[in-house]
Chain A
Amino acid sequence: MLKLKYLLLMLIPLCVLNPVLAQQVKVSASLERDSIWLGDQIRMILVAEYPEGVKLTFPEPKDSLGYGVEVLSRSARDSSRIGGGLIQMRQSYVITAFDSGPHPIKPFLFAGQANNRADTVRSNALSLFVKVPDVDLKKGFADIKKPYKAPVTFKEVAPWILGIILIASIVFLILYAINRRRKNIPLFTMPAKPKLPPHVVALSELDKLKEEQLWQQDKVKDYYTRLTDIIRTYLEERYEVPAMEQTTQEILSQFKGETTQIKGKLYSGLQKTLDIADLVKFAKSTPLPDENHFVMVHAYSLVEETKPETLETVKKQTLPNTETSVEKIISGPNEIEKQS
């Protein structure tokens, strides 16, 4: 009896204080719609509003809410301040039911605690009606319909497209590399420099050769080898004849006749130059200094007088005395500077 008295004395403050906490905390449960088709899905939302000092425990529904209502998924809890020192917390659930008819959903219990005081608050109860489509039995049974084909979206196809492009690129690169290797061409090449006109290259090479003074140092064979290479390269580039792969006689036969640009003195000079060069290169001949000088003069003349017409015209306008310019170029490097 004494124990019962103590118990009652302890419950009295709770009975007085609990309604106060319940008034401050508001909870509700709601459905998007009251009814659904059999197997359809619907969202159920639980909302609780409570003062900041209150520690509220949300209900944790299991997979089933009873009476055939199933929970398919649940969202994360979301809390926000709504003013007046209140916090709103909400959580949504996707539910469904596979039995027709009304399905009551019991109220949800929210446990609250503040200043060592505890209480539970109930939400409202819900009712979900599950509808079944009307079936006209008179029409007889229909075949089972095949699943609908959902349209393919870009998101689904994109990885495949990217994969195919990637594989195709790799295959292309491998084939490209093999092909380049077969042809003995490096895989990556720098863009080619713009090609200088053949006469510019030839004149520059002749200037270099003259400055090196090879025959004056008894390097006559090197001198003639370089000189004939310059002339042959020039002829090859200028007239598109394979002069580097041709013998002296073959080169000369290419330019034989009056119709070519190399005729008269130019032709005989070319013939003499190549003949002397052959003797030096292949027969250990040592030409006279005059001959060494002659072949250089002739090489300059050949290049100067067979330059493309357009450049020739420009040159004539700027340097009217072409013949003397060649002679002065030959006579020494100082003269070149004077001319320029």
Chain B
Amino acid sequence: MEQKVDIRELNERIQRESSFVDLISMEMNKVIVGQKHLVESLLIGLLSDGHILLEGVPGLAKTLAINTLAQTIDAKFARIQFTPDLLPADLLGTMIYSQKKEEFMVRKGPIFTNFVLADEINRAPAKVQSALLEAMQERQITISDHTYKLDRLFLVMATQNPIEQEGTYRLPEAQVDRFMLKVVLNYPKKEEEKLIIQLNLLKQFPRASAVVSPADIVRAREVVKEVYMDEKIQKYIIDIVFATREPAEHGLAKFKEMITYGASPRASISLAQASKAYAFIKRRGYVIPEDIRAVCHDVLRHRIGLSYEAEANNLTAEEIISEILNTVEVP
């Protein structure tokens, strides 16, 4: 299907509309030292209307990052600590009886906000995870017989701790698939950590100021949707996703026994949306193969099922994705 689009005009529009990206980045960089990939991933999720699953050890500024993002956008933020005794009602809200009015009233849960940090999502039982993930997908919540729409600007950033697995409830594959990106956080560099120490010792914590409104983000999302993606790029996405499903047919027979299931069609959609958002961040009105490669690991790493054989060989999803990118022909 040929898309009729004026790239020159689109580029100019993106130059105008994406000016806030630099402002948000600057404000976030004032507060968060390092973690540029996290900031970029948050922006991709924000602009492509996708949710983010974060994996990293404690203390890597996960909460601070999303809190700062909320401040820069002048949006509401809620942090929910997931625990084994958490109930869906604690998250979504419930009906409470008002003795004064002698009727049941709705008390909305913390999920009615713009940015949600679902901390250690795998500590809560499946029913709570399911309630959150359903809200993420449907963008609405039903309490009793009333359905409430969530804000148009709604971003969930869930975290998982990779080192403590005892007493956790592993997220089912079908639910993990609903996160557009899975971002793996690493420790800061030496210089960055030195700066973190200095800021903490001096008790000088810069505060981010609001530089953009939620309405601007919603408008920017519409522009992101218009970013041009050529058929060649679409074919490149399909080739990559199919390589995860049928590795042998893409010259990767060695992974045939290592992959139990490949990426879903939702992965193809997410890859396309995330690459469009990445192109927007880079001030471009069209997607190039570099954009696909930039977001590919984050989009695919939680969507590839590894076999016991792969685990025995210490083969990770990261390595498989890298190998696929090195094998699939770039248009």
Binding site for B on A (CB under 8 A): 182-184, 225, 242, 244-249, 278, 281-285
Contact = CB atoms under 8 A, between A and B. Distances in A.
B253 A283 contact: no
B327 A245 contact: yes
Interface residues of B, number: 23
B112 interface: no
A283 B286 contact: yes
Contact of B228 (A183, A242, A284): A284
Interface string B287-331: 111100100000000000000000000000000000001111111
Contacts of B330: 244-247
Contact of B288 (A183, A242, A245, A282): A282
A278 B288 contact: yes
Chain A facing B: main interface SS:
helix
A285 B288 CA distance: 13
A258 B282 CA distance: 29
Given A247-B293, A282-B289, 5 more contacts: A182-B253, A246-B330, A247-B290, A281-B230, A282-B228
B228 A283 contact: yes
B331 to A, nearest CB: 7
B248 interface: yes
B331 A281 contact: yes
Contacts of B331: 225, 281-282
A284 B228 CA distance: 9
B7 A183 contact: no
Most buried by A among B5, B289, B330: B330
B253 A183 contact: yes
Nearest to A251: B330
Most buried by A among B5, B7, B288: B288
Contacts of B73: none
Given A182-B253, A184-B248, A282-B230, A247 B7 contact: no
Given A184-B253, A282-B287, A284-B228, A245 B329 contact: yes
Contacts of B329: 244-245
A282 B288 CA distance: 6
Contacts of A184: 248-249, 253
B327 A247 contact: no
A317 B329 CA distance: 39
A242 B232 contact: no
B232 A282 contact: yes
Most buried by B among A184, A248, A281: A281
A23 to B, nearest CB: 96
Contacts of A247: 288-290, 293, 330
B253 A282 contact: no
A182 to B, nearest CB: 7
A245 B326 CA distance: 6
Most buried by B among A242, A249, A278, A282: A282
B50 interface: no
A248 B290 contact: yes
A248 B233 CA distance: 14
B322 to A, nearest CB: 11
B152 to A, nearest CB: 30
A281 B248 CA distance: 29
B285 interface: yes
A283 B290 contact: no
A284 B326 contact: no
Contacts of B293: 247
A282 B290 contact: no
Nearest to A182: B253
Nearest to B233: A282
Contacts of B286: 282-284
Contacts of A278: 288
A184 B289 CA distance: 28
Contact of B285 (A249, A281, A283): A283
B51 to A, nearest CB: 28
B5 A284 contact: yes
A42 B285 CA distance: 110
Contacts of B289: 247-248, 282
Contacts of A245: 325-330
A248 B293 CA distance: 12
Most buried by B among A242, A246, A283: A283
A71 to B, nearest CB: 74
Interface in B229-250: 230, 232-233, 248-249
Nearest to A283: B286
Most buried by B among A183, A184, A245, A249: A245
Contacts of B253: 182-184
A269 to B, nearest CB: 20
In the complex, the 8 A-B pairs of residues with the closest C-beta atoms, listed nearest first = A283-B286, A247-B289, A247-B290, A282-B230, A283-B7, A282-B288, A284-B7, A244-B329
Nearest to A184: B248
B70 to A, nearest CB: 33
B5 to A, nearest CB: 7
Contacts of A225: 232, 331
B226 to A, nearest CB: 13
A228 to B, nearest CB: 9
Contacts of B7: 283-285
A282 B232 CA distance: 7
Contacts of B230: 281-284
Contacts of B285: 283
Contacts of B248: 184
A239 B7 CA distance: 35
Contacts of A242: 326
Contacts of B233: 282
Contacts of A282: 228, 230, 232-233, 286-289, 331
Nearest to A280: B230
21 contacts: A182-B253, A184-B248, A184-B253, A242-B326, A245-B327, A247-B288, A247-B290, A247-B293, A247-B330, A248-B289, A249-B290, A281-B230, A281-B331, A282-B228, A282-B230, A282-B232, A282-B233, A282-B286, A282-B288, A283-B285, A283-B286
